[in-house]
Amino acid sequence: MKDRIEALLAKTGFSSNGIFVMDGSSRSGHGNAYFTGLGKNKRIVFYDTLLEKLSVDEVEAVLAHELGHFKHGHIKQRFIEGALISLAGLALLGCLVQLPEFYVGLGMTTQSPAIALLLFMTAVPTLFFWLSPLMAIKSRTHEFEADTFAAQHASAASLVSALLGMYRDNASTLTPHPLYSAYHDSHPPAKIRIDHLKSLQS
């Protein structure tokens, strides 16, 4: 498996500082894989549960998908967006902390920075809930791009079977309601993703 992974890394021009296996099985049965580190210190980490459950072809396809995210700059983009959103959030908090209406409107009689922070963390996310489909559209586009990359550098069929296995293990539906999915899922519904991968394969 290590040879196949290293061959894929060489083929896609990805330099990493090592491939690691994480003990995920002592916490849960969920399988996962991720990148960590910056610059030349990038590391690839696989959960032992993922390696146990997936075939070599499937692991290669999952890694190719993750490499697709990296090659398309999704990780950097998300990092910058996250920093900007945090900055905007803190600016908003800076305004709200001075507004008596903010406390009264959310049922508080005393005003203090601690209460403002607590209200901000618990109540404000619900006010922005309606925006979540907008965020999801972006991350779904990224998933399709990463899947396309995976189909080019590994097997689309293996990615489909790996996905089906993960959906089965997580007991999640393959066909969620489109409206529910638009609000709650960062990834496209399984059926749409699988149809897309199959179209790339043919």
Q: Examine the residue annotation and report whether 143 is marked as an active-site residue of this protein.
A: no
Find the shortest distance in angstroms from Cβ 158 to Zn ion: 15
Pick the closer one to Zn ion by CB: 120 or 143: 143
Pick the closer one to Zn ion by CB: 62 or 116: 62
Pick the closer one to Zn ion by CB: 49 or 120: 49
Find the shortest distance in angstroms from Cβ 139 to Zn ion: 8
Give the x/- contact pattern for Zn ion in 125-154, rule: CB under 5 A.
------------------x--x--------
Two tokens, residue 130: 């309606």
> Which one, of 98, 114, 116, lies nearest residue 106 by Cα?
116
Footprint of Zn ion on residues 53-112 (CB under 5 A)? none
Footprint of Zn ion on residues 162-181 (CB under 5 A)? none
> Which one, of 25, 31, 43, lies nearest residue 169 by Cα?
31
Footprint of Zn ion on residues 31-50 (CB under 5 A)? none
- List the catalytic residue out of 58, 60, 143, 147: 147
How would you list the strands of the sheet with 33-36, edge to edge? 19-22, 43-47, 33-36
Per DSSP, the three-state class of 45 is strand
Q: Is 146 exposed, middle or buried (0-12, 13-18, 19+ CB in 10 A)?
A: buried
Pick the closer one to Zn ion by CB: 58 or 143: 143
- Displacement of CA 84 from its chain's centroid (Å): 18
Q: Examine the residue annotation and report whether 147 is marked as an active-site residue of this protein.
A: yes
Q: How far is CA 200 from CA 68, 69, 149, 197, in A?
A: 15, 17, 10, 5
- List the catalytic residue out of 58, 60, 66, 143: 66
Find the shortest distance in angstroms from Cβ 72 to Zn ion: 10
Find the shortest distance in angstroms from Cβ 68 to Zn ion: 8
Residues that bind Zn ion (CB under 5 A): 143, 146
Catalytic site positions? 66, 147
